[in-house]
Amino acid sequence: MKLELTRIGNSRGIRIPKPLIAQCGLGEVVELRVTPEGLVISPHRSPRHGWREAFAAEFKPEEGLLLDQLDPNAFDRKEWKW
Instruction: Tell me which residue range forms the domain holding 34.
Output: 6-43
Residue 63 lies in a domain: no
Residue of 14, 10, 17, 7 whose CA lies nearest to 38: 14
- Rounded Cα distance between 46 and 54, Å, is 15
* pLDDT confidence of residue 70: 75
CATH number at residue 26: 2.10.260
Domain count, the chain: 1
Residue 19 lies in a domain: yes
pLDDT in tens, 28-77: 999 999 999 999 999 988 888 888 888 888 877 666 666 667 787 888 77
Residue 56 lies in a domain: no
Residue 13 lies in a domain: yes
* pLDDT confidence of residue 59: 76
Residue 17 lies in a domain: yes
